[in-house]
Structure 1
């Protein structure tokens, strides 16, 4: 990895997948002895939870879940 002019690094995709890091996750860089570690910030919501929380209660339909599923599936 290489540090860019803004002091940023890119975490390789295979490591992001392995440790379940997603866009929008908050991380911290902590110093442990002579080593810097990238860790997920404690107490922050995961991306999926943030998205569902943002969407909850915004539906504008009176259709039931079963009716919507039939519509989407083309049944």
Structure 2
């Protein structure tokens, strides 16, 4: 399996099927010796709702406060990715 420049890998179909990993699923890696283990993380709807509320509160708190110092949004997003 090859790692992309962004550090991404494709989880093989048989592993996704076995762990019931679908688009939007959350997974985590843990260290195991000289390797890592992948597991699917089950997130309750209450936990997801709380996370969404916290994110929206954070966005509202900072709405209109970002100064890009003349950068375009494309330049800003490129900077975030690099």
TM-score normalized with structure 1 length: 0.52
In structure 2, how many angstroms separate the alpha carbons of the residues matched to 1:8 and 1:35? 17
- Larger RCO, structure (CA 8 Å, separation 6 or more): 1
What residue ranges of structure 1 are gaps of 5+ in the alignment? 51-75
The alignment yields a C-alpha RMSD, in angstroms, of 2.1
Say if 2:6 is the partner of 1:2. Answer: no
- Answer 1 or 2: which has greater helix percent: 2
Q: Which residue of 2 aligns with 1:59?
A: none
Match of 2:58 in 1: none
Matches within 5 A, 1:55-74: none
For structure 2, the 5+ residue unaligned runs are: 49-82
Q: Which runs of structure 2 are paired with 1:1-75 in the superposition (5 Å)?
A: 1-41=1-41, 43-45=42-44
Question: Between Structure 1 and Structure 2, how many residues are aligned?
Answer: 46
Structure 1 segments of 4 or more deviating over 2 A? none
Q: How far is the alpha carbon of 1:5 from its aligned partner?
A: 0.4
